[in-house]
Amino acid sequence: MSTSDGVQKRNAFAACTAFRIERLEASLNQAREIAVQEELDAVGRYIEEAQGYLAQIQVLHEEALEEFSRAQGE
The parent domain of residue 38 ranges over 3-73
Higher pLDDT, 30 or 13: 30
Domain count, the chain: 1
pLDDT value at 69 more than 70:
yes
Element counts in the chain: helices (H) and strands (E): 2, 0
As a residue count, the chain comes to 74
pLDDT value at 1 more than 60:
no
pLDDT value at 17 more than 60:
yes
pLDDT in tens, 20-40: 888 888 888 888 787 777 777
Q: What is the SS3 assignment for 60?
A: helix
Compute the mean pLDDT over every residue in the chain, rounded to the nearest whole number: 79
